[in-house]
Each structure stands twice: as structure tokens, then as C-alpha cells.
Amino acid sequence: MEIGIAADHGGYELKESIKNFLVSQGHHITDFGAYVLDSKDDYPDFVIPLAHAVVNKEVERGIAVCGSGVGASVAANKVAGVRAALINDHFSAHQGVEDDDLNLLCLGGRVTGNMAAQELVTAFLNAKFTGEERHLRRLGKVRALEG
């Protein structure tokens, strides 16, 4: 799968770990930065370009990491067409895709460990949107807010 990934300094180490894992699984990764650990960098500078790439279908799914995952999800959801969520549990990692068509997974580099992140990312990437009518109806109501 074509996957985009981004992180600020709070998520940099986890991003690198996830990237190595996904490459080992045969995925192709586009890294939107940060490319160095810089304690003064700002998550929107990396997450917003990733969010645009998801919407423009340059990548199939996105993964964004900041310290908590909160800032990344707040920023990503400002881009119309992005459905981002901070995920800390396995159920939400796949159900968010199945029901809500989640297309950008957010993680907290200061919250989630490397191995747990691998399980969350795997559940997210393996899940597919069901396309069921009730979910399409609900997402239509969300999309209506995007103008």
C-alpha cells in the first residue's frame, strides 16, 4: 500500500520506527517529515502536507505522529476530506475505518510504544470501509459541514 507518514519532534522517533516496520511489510512510504529531530519544529508543517496528499490520493492512507497525537488530529481534520483520529486501542484502529472511513491515523509518540503502534497501524491498514448505508448517511452529514 502507498502510505504517507509525518511527525513533529514529539513523534519523530515513533515515526521512524513505524516507517521501518511498514517498509519491512512491503509497503511504500512517502515521508512528509520531519527528517531530523528538531525540538523547535511545529506539527502542522508536516501534518498538513500529509493531509493534502491523502485527500489528493497521492497516498492511500496517512499516519501522523506528534507527542500526544492530539495536535496532529486537530490539524489534519482542518483539511476537507480528511477523517483523522487519535487512536490508542486496537478496536478503534479498525472500526474507525470500517464505520467512519478513517483515512489518517494519529498516534502519540510520547504515549504509544513501538510494538503497540505496529499493532494499531496494522489494524488500521488492513481494515476496509464497509460502505453500509447507515455509515454513508452519517458521513454525508459530516461532509456537509465541509462546504
Cβ closer to ligand RB5: 55 or 70?
Answer: 70
Whether the link from the prior residue into 34 is cis, omega within 30° of 0, is yes
DSSP 102-124: --EEEEETTTS-HHHHHHHHHHH
Dihedral angle over CA of 7, 61, 128, 74, nearest 10? 50
Active site residue 66: yes
1-60 positions binding ligand RB5, by CB under 6 A: 8, 10, 43
Q: Are 79 and 47 in contact (CB under 8 A)?
A: no
Of 3, 29, 65, 66, the active-site residue reads 66
Distance of CA 55 to the CA centre of its chain: 12
- Segment 63 to 102, residues that bind ligand RB5, using CB under 6 A: 66-68, 70-71
Q: Which is nearer to ligand RB5, 4 or 11 (CB)?
A: 11
Of 77 and 122, CB closest to ligand RB5: 77
The stretch near ligand RB5 (CB under 6 A) out of 51-59, 61-69, 85-93, 117-125 is 61-69
Cell 508543517: give the residue.
45
* Catalytic site positions: 66
Footprint of ligand RB5 on this chain (CB under 6 A)?
8, 10, 43, 66-68, 70-71
